[in-house]
Amino acid sequence: MAANGTGVSTPRSPLARIQTQKKGNEMCHDDSGKPVKAQTIDELHSLQKKRSAPTTPLDGVQGAFASLTEEERQRQQLQSISASLASLTGGSGPKVVRGDPAEKPYAVAHVAHHYHHVEAPTISVSDSSLKFTHVLYNLSPAELYEQAIKYEKGSFITSSGALATLSGAKTGRSPRDKRVVIDDTTQDELWWGKGSPNIEMDEHTFMVNRERAVDYLNSLDKVFVNDQFLNWDPQNRIKVRIVSARAYHSLFMHNMCIRPTLEELENFGTPDFTIYNAGQFPCNRYTHYMTSSTSIDLNLARREMVILGTQYAGEMKKGLFGVMHYLMPKRQILSLHSGCNMGKDGDVALFFGLSGTGKTTLSTDHNRYLIGDDEHCWSDNGVSNIEGGCYAKCIDLSGEKEPDIWNAIKFGTVLENVVFDEHLREVDYGDKSVTENTRAAYPIEYIPNAKIPCVGPHPKNVILLACDAFGVLPPVSKLSLAQTMYHFISGYTALVAGTEDGIKEPTATFSACFGAAFIMLHPTKYAAMLAEKMQKHGATGWLVNTGWSGGSYGSGKRIKLPYTRKIIDAIHSGSLLNATYEKTEVFGLEIPTEVEGVPSEILHPENTWTDKQAYKDTLLKLGGLFKKNFETFTNYKIGKDNKLTEEILAAGPNF
């Protein structure tokens, strides 16, 4: 027994009697507030939520929906979604209704707007035409958290507020399962054949898979629809719609694409491109061209992508990137697999590199404005980010080494495939039990010095990142234009484990334009554009090895991140341009003799190897791999300039 709220205490209690009534109040009340205005519990609950309103008045808004009533606008929006979900054999789309099927439709007027619906004008010939599909349209992060936690196994709130999810059996992309529709146009325009990421499929097979995905999505109680933008350059903005079955997918894309304002959403109209993500459902292996139960299918003519048999969200991100690699060069705009940041004085740097080489890590720099971490466009107006978010690797992440990324992992952030303490929900970033490719997807404004809008002037420095598992490339070298092009086309790195399905150990990889998996045209088309732009705007090329030093993978060690950061600082500040350089054997790279804050003895890789013969052998081995890889490009001309083509061919290893 103890003193409690009722004021009853034992005679021996040393505690003071607790006062429950206000002094001067004669009446016996258990609370002093006014009673709620509701007559029933349902009514009470209905008071909790009020309608969100656009932040600026809609008067004067120009666009497709400008003069419509709210009712009519909602109806048109649902009709557009129904059309997206239509089977293309039957004509009209499914009956769609807005809102969560589990939520009771309150009779109260100000929440009733959730339940507008569109009925497809069909004669019911099947069970599916009798049912409604609920649409969860552009939900907010808070709503998506609730959906994920209520309905998706493996969804948890971590101690920092991020949403931990599992991507299922696939924890990386599946490039071998990507298919692109070949038709009269794409046959000539796209890069096909050896080395190309574009594996063909015909239009009919695409429609078979599309029908499979749409039927799957329509069979569900509810689907998520995201209407968003790509590209911060307003003149070249692309409208995308993502239809998916998981709150995880919807929140991931909410974070990764550009988020429309409520006003922009009102005027969204018809999307330029649509993704049907039916990733929980496999493709049919009896279908022509299918070699596994996973298929990621792109149809450029229809402006559609279908995903079957993988729930890895990166497929949507990189699928859209592929689309941009097709659409932008048509407009003379170069699309780039690069990070991008800007100094206080407006100096812009691009960071090229394959997965895991440091684009996100090094473009996120506390002393510079972040324009974007992974996908950019370079047009006549300068650079623009394609995305609205970042996708950082989290393996071994620490708050000390990468504070900005660490602090971005908070409410709203999707954390993929991480392991956490079951009680405290604290993430163990060192744990690779699920995968080594653990990831955090967060809106770019979660980085404190993000540059919003994410655009900037023409780049001054073009930094090529290679994570060299052989440990023979110097930590930094200055490149001529021809060398920059040679290394850009080669796209060398040691692929870091996990991002592509099935890779468990670092291996030497060549990937044209530092992103062969995403390009649609022949690599020389992008290379010619890059050369032209670098020349025109006087950008300097650099090769930075963020990989091994003192020996190959297994005997040497990865170069310390603080050293790489110092090197990058010296590139940004311009001080490295004025350093003294010496030329290396075999690769003919110009390496500085000194970089502030970096021990000089590591600048030449030979110094860090104890076994000098092993160094020489490894250097020649890597040089040989470069030569062999470049053979496929020797018959191509880069741009209109024959001289540049010859210079590029001569800029490779020489021995």
Ligand X SMILES: Nc1ncnc2c1ncn2[C@@H]1O[C@H](COP(=O)(O)OP(=O)(O)OP(=O)(O)O)[C@@H](O)[C@H]1O
Q: Near ligand OAA by CB under 6 A, which window of 6-14, 56-64, 290-298, 313-321?
A: 313-321
What are the CB-based long-range contacts (under 8 Å, 24+) for 418-424? Answer: 418/158, 418/164, 418/394, 420/156, 420/158, 420/159, 420/164, 424/159
Distance between CA 340 and CA 376 in Å, rounded?
Answer: 8
The two tokens of residue 602 are 């590591």
Q: Which of 295, 293, 606, 568 is closest to 472 using CA atoms? A: 606
Which one of the spans 114-122, 222-230, 311-319, 624-632 is the region binding ligand OAA (CB under 6 A)?
311-319
Partner whose footprint covers residue 173, from ligand OAA, Mn ion, ligand X, none (CB < 5 to 8 Å by kind): ligand OAA
Task: Determine which helix (DSSP H) or strand (DSSP E) holds 536, and give its type and residue range.
Answer: helix 523-537
Q: Which residue in 393, 460, 525, 572 binds ligand X (CB under 6 A)?
A: 393
Task: Write down the number of H helices and E strands in the chain.
Answer: 16, 33
Q: Which of 266, 374, 402, 647 binds ligand OAA (CB under 6 A)?
A: 374
Give Cα separations from 362 to 265, 444, 463 (angstroms).
34, 15, 10
138, 244, 355, 540: residue in contact with ligand X (rule CB under 6 A): 355
Active-site entry in 173, 254, 376, 393: 173
The listed partner (Ca ion, ligand OAA, ligand X, none) that binds 358, CB under 5 to 8 Å by sort, is: ligand X
176 labelled catalytic: no
In the region spanning residues 351 to 380, those forming contacts with Mn ion, defined by CB under 5 A, are 374
Instruction: Reply yes or no on whether 173 is catalytic.
Output: yes
C-alpha 570/C-alpha 568 separation (Å) is 5
**374 touches Ca ion by CB under 5 A:** yes
Report the phi/psi class of residue 561: left, alpha or beta, with left for phi > 0 and alpha for psi in -120 to 50.
alpha
Binding mask 165-204 for ligand OAA (x = CB under 6 A): --------x-------------------------------
Give the strands of the sheet with 414-416, arranged side by side. 156-157, 163-165, 414-416, 439-443, 389-393
How far is it between the farthest Cα atoms of the chain? 103
- Is 210 among the residues known to form the active site? no
Output DSSP code: residue 280: T
- Shorter beta-carbon distance to Mn ion: residue 386 or 476: 386
Verify cis geometry, omega within 30 degrees of 0, for the bond prior to 457.
Answer: no
Least Cα distance to 119 among 99, 84, 85, 92 occurs for 92
Q: Which one of 179, 246, 318, 478 is the catalytic residue? A: 318
99 vs 356, beta carbon nearer ligand X: 356
Structure tokens given for 222: 């509810």
For residue 511, the minimal CB distance to ligand OAA (Å) is 10
**249 belongs to the binding site for ligand OAA (CB under 6 A):** no
Residue 360 makes contact with Ca ion by CB under 5 A:
yes
CA distance 247 to 609: 50
Residue 205 or 363: the one with the smaller Cβ distance to Mn ion is 363
Residue 546 interface partner, choices ligand X, Mn ion, Ca ion, none, CB cut-off 5-8 Å depending on type: ligand X
| Of 462, 459, 454, nearest in space to 373 by CA | 454
Quick check: 559 binds ligand X (CB under 6 A)?
yes
Q: What are the catalytic residues?
A: 173, 318, 337, 355, 359-360, 374, 439
Q: Which residues bind ligand X (CB under 6 A)?
A: 353, 355-362, 373-374, 391-393, 395, 499, 546, 558-559, 561, 564
Q: Which residues bind ligand OAA (CB under 6 A)?
A: 173, 314, 317-318, 355, 374, 391, 499
